[in-house]
Amino acid sequence: MHCREFRTALSARLDGEEPPPDVSGPVLDAHLLGCVECRGWGERARRLKLLTAGLG
């Protein structure tokens, strides 16, 4: 599995949506522990979500 699939799952998690069926929560968490790039992507996505939440 590639980071792209994990980032899709992380995006779903941040949006409160169901993750893709092949990426369970524990699998995503394990990937994030070992992948600095996806952790950084997730942090940037989380901050962007917080910043844009006040615009609507």
DSSP string, 18-44: PPPTTS-HHHHHHHHHH-HHHHHHHHH
Number of domains in the chain: 1
Rounded to two decimals, what is the model's pTM? 0.86
> Residue 49 is part of which domain span?
3-53
* CB within 8 Å of 39: residues ≥ 6 apart: 32
pLDDT tens-digit profile of 5-51?
999 999 999 999 998 999 999 999 999 999 999 999 999 999 999 99
Element (H, E) at 3: helix 3-14
CB 40 within 8 A of CB 51: no
Secondary structure (3-state) at 8: helix
Kindly tell me if the per-residue pLDDT of 54 is higher than 80.
Answer: no
Kindly tell me if the per-residue pLDDT of 56 is higher than 70.
Answer: no
